[in-house]
Chains A and B, each alone.
Chain A
Amino acid sequence: MKEKNLITRILATDCGSTTTKAILIEKRDNEYRLIVRGEAPTTVEAPYEDVTKGVLNAIKEVEELAGVKILNGENIIKREKNEGEGVDLYISTSSAGGGLQMMVAGVVDKMSAESAARAALGAGSIVMDVVATNDKRLDHQRIKRIRTLRPDMILLSGGTDGGTITHVVQLAEIIEAADPKPRFGAGYKLPVIYAGNKNASQDVAKLLDKKTALYIVDNLRPTLERENLQPARDKIHDLFMEHVMAQAPGYKKLMDMTDVPIMPTPGAVGLLIETIGKRDRIEVLGVDIGGATTDIFSFFQKTFNRTVSANLGMSYSISNVVKEAGLKNIMRWVPFEMDEKDLRNRIRNKMIRPTTVPSTLDELQIEQAISREALRLALEQHRAMAVGLKGVQKERTISDAFEQSSSGSTLVNMLTLNLIVGSGGVLSHAPRRVQSALMMIDAFLPEGVTMLTVDSIFMMPQLGVLSTVHEQAATEVFEKDCLIRLGSCVAPIGNLKEGQKAVTVKFAGEEHKVNFGDIKLIPMELGKKTKATIIPVKNLDMGIGKGKEIETDIEGGIVGVIIDARGRCPFTLPTDEKSRVEKLTKWMKSLNVYPEK
């Protein structure tokens, strides 16, 4: 790789399960900016079955749009100096081929097994199942499960260093008896990472060395009150490259093309979210809704968390959103009356032809309705996982450890949340930015005052990996070209009768009154920040008590300030179809969400 200061043109791709995205970044007038973006369908399907075809096609689009020659046949031209053709750095992330699929095992489900799941999730993996000695399954059921799942790798943990070894050895025996096979490549052994009691390492090795590719790393829970996830996460990343990516169609070629190792897409996005939270000292919720999975990243109480909802997505997994949310919950967001049979068929047709895009307004509205439910369910799953101690090397007392296993209280707090970052096709590519804003508000139901943003053209994954090799370029592009600030959302908590006066928001010498059941958009330009006084009526709460006014900063954006007085805790929609459609239509008109038909 060239020296950092000599890098002036960067090409980055992200191979998603549906679309491969390429961006071109150049240093112009002493700052790094996004120049163009190209995309093409991901080519894991026959007849191509080679991910580099989609990559090359996306790069070709970049070439056409930027008027720069980057490819010489199927090779990326690497510049010696600053000549017109080629690039200085090429990097890539990937979640194609189903991403990284892991199974984790730990002695106690709420202790070492939960820590192991966090290690795997933090490394960008999908956790297919968690095996624990107290998971209420019989041994033969666990063995059958391990055998049928065919994960890409297994992470085994359990026992504190120096503690009893029996239980973790028992888990190793179960894995040995299952003799698991990897998803790709019959000829190689399944990688198993052991990150448990160091005193049991030898016994675990005796059991698993022959049947699996065993790697031993430091215990991820060396003591009850301490989590040490990094060594396991690093090993997962190494093995992802060596075993999983190398087996997927075309990846060997892609690995040769990139200047730095390919990173799993969620790992790269998580890195960016964590950086924003730490740098700005705020609470952040990030979402990346893809074709197959939806990732949620959060930074609450200085703790980073990531979960992936493996089967909630907008193309391959779209039917599973319907299965999990129920068709009624999807239909409640569709602003017109629709036959169930027709809706079902449309959703299935998207599943079997995942690269298609809505070309009519009705189709767009249906997709955005489904996305609300995918996002809502993904956040529900995140809430359940984002509990207790998280992240790297966090010290805490034994009493905290027990509290975690008993209470399981979530760190996610929609009231203290400062910033939502939306990413993924359906949010980044919504034709009007206000559509993304409303999808996120409806799905996440933020409370109090929350800033809404979206990844402009879905390039957080590429910037995440870029930040590991060229932080300056990643930061400059992220601030100037990636993050689009939509505006603040003001949402009082509580419920009133429809049409009653709900909240008054005063700022910039103006007063905006909103009645209960309404949502209002106040234009406020991008970059403008001002003090606002928010006065809820006596039964509504802005966070410090019912009827108490607050003074806070609100910020404008591409969309403006949204005052949402539709109710929280709970938020409800009319159940009869006619009133529901009327209500949705009113809200959508009020925010100018869709063009008039």
Chain B
Amino acid sequence: MAHSYTPGLKVTEKAIVRKERRLPLKGTVVAQKGEYVKADDIVATTSLPGDVERLNLAGKLGVPAKEAFSFLKVKTGDEIKKDQVIAESKGFFGLFKSSIPSPIDGFVESYSEITGMLTLRKPPKRVEIDAYVNGKVVDVIENEGIVLETPATFIQGIFGIGGEVKGILKLVAQTPDYVMKPQDITDEMKGTIIIGGSLVTNEILRACVDRGVVGIVAGGINDKELKEFLGEEIGVAITGQEDKGITVIVTEGFGQMTMAKKTYEILKKNDGKRASINGATQIRAGVLRPEVIVTYDVNTPISESKHSEMGMDIGSVVRIIRQPFFGAIGKVVQLPHQLQKIETEAYVRVLEFQFDDGKQIVLPRTNVELIEE
């Protein structure tokens, strides 16, 4: 019997979630293996090298590159202050001296006798990374970060914008197909992550930002409105760096999309609990999907999720992810392995899909995704 590997999003009420928390550069790991950490705890720190400033020393002194070095009043590694004289020519009987002031606060990095360039570096910037979720440190990556594990509710969205934020989940949509209105967003929602229904509009996003809502999870968003909110068109699907004052996670896709019942029910159950969310999405090269994580007490027993490594099979529950019937959920009833002709006249591998009401249709296999049971 044929089966198929079909990319699906994880939507699980209880799972063991592993999170790697890694510094962008090597640094110091503060957390210890076996330790329990809270989401806001700092687990590793480092210093990002400061920006570089290059100075044409030989040119400024009007001497050959090989000679300019002897006019330096500082040496490699020295700390320097802005406007401090770092090089000075001898002049003529003490007159007509040229003094070169430092353009920055920082350090002397190097001088090149070939190019006559002096490289200065601004002070390092301190970078700290927190645990992001409560959990147990199960591994320490030397000088780089940690891996932590926690029992948690874990929901992957399909697309998002904005980076990591934490906040209390606040249910706004009373049904998964609800379309939020601006008056639904109130001042009391400051610092929360709201659970919307089928559509988040530009108007809602602006209302959320105005009222200090830090995150929003909804079924769909119109691309046109997203563009209006961001002020620019998204080209390649690499997001997470947007600095718009809110993290947005879309669970189903673009357009008005009723949130999948399972996703909605799980989020609803977690109304009032603290969640960690991240809108970062990278569909190409490395694949990153946005996520919502609500952790349980670390001792909560969890049976490992049975996300099928074998992929789709007869009886699998799947969601249609392309027009027509976008978003519909049903069961796979047949997986014929012969290619079949579809409306476009293309011959593709298909599956027979059954809606809840028993109606059946034939679809390209690649147009469905697995829903984890």
Contact = CB atoms under 8 A, between A and B. Distances in A.
A143 B52 contact: yes
B38 interface: no
Contacts of B321: 349, 353, 356
Interface stretch (B4-12, B73-81, B161-169, B204-212): B4-12
A144 B337 CA distance: 52
Given A292-B284, A316-B237, A359 B5 contact: no
Interface string B346-373: 1111000000000000011011010000
B51 A140 contact: yes
Contact of A359 (B222, B234, B347, B364): B364
A355 B115 contact: no
B287 A44 contact: yes
B109 A322 contact: no
A170 interface: yes
A48 interface: yes
B233 A323 contact: yes
Interface in A117-170: 139-140, 143-144, 165-166, 169-170
B367 to A, nearest CB: 5
Nearest to A597: B343
Interface string B1-37: 0101111101000000000001001100000000000
B236 A320 contact: yes
A352 B253 contact: yes
A391 interface: no
B266 interface: no
A41 interface: yes
Interface string A181-195: 101001000000000
Nearest to A184: B286
Interface stretch (B90-98, B126-134, B180-188, B322-330): B322-330
Given A45-B287, A311-B236, A353-B253, A54 B5 contact: yes
Taking residues whose C-beta sits less than 8 angstroms from the other chain, chain A's interface range is: 35 or more
B283 interface: yes
Contact of B5 (A57, A139, A324, A346): A57
B344 A359 contact: yes
B367 A344 contact: no
A53 B286 CA distance: 16
Contacts of B281: 352
Interface string B305-341: 0010101000000000111101000000000010000
A399 interface: no
B112 A173 contact: yes
B366 A355 contact: yes
Contacts of A183: 285
A427 to B, nearest CB: 13
Taking residues whose C-beta sits less than 8 angstroms from the other chain, chain B's interface range is: 35 or more
A364 B222 contact: no
A344 B236 CA distance: 14
A529 interface: no
Best-buried of B53, B65, B114, B347 by chain A (most CB within 10 Å): B114
A431 B344 contact: yes
Contacts of A49: 287
A1 interface: no
B63 interface: no
A356 B322 contact: yes
A363 B323 contact: yes
Contacts of B144: 186
A225 interface: no
Given A57-B5, A98-B285, A349 B253 contact: yes
B158 interface: yes
Contacts of B51: 140, 143-144
A147 B369 CA distance: 37
A340 B109 CA distance: 54
A357 B343 contact: no
A319 B223 CA distance: 10
Given A169-B114, A342-B255, 9 more contacts: A57-B4, A140-B52, A143-B51, A143-B52, A177-B109, A183-B285, A352-B281, A358-B346, A359-B367
Interface of A: 17, 40-41, 43-49, 53-54, 57, 61, 64, 97-98, 139-140, 143-144, 165-166, 169-170, 173-174, 177-179, 181, 183, 186, 203, 292, 311, 316-317, 319-320, 322-324, 340-342, 344-361, 363-364, 429, 431-432, 595
23 contacts: A41-B6, A44-B287, A48-B5, A53-B5, A139-B52, A165-B114, A169-B115, A316-B237, A316-B284, A342-B255, A344-B224, A345-B223, A351-B283, A352-B281, A355-B366, A356-B322, A359-B364, A360-B343, A361-B343, A363-B323, A363-B344, A429-B346, A595-B345
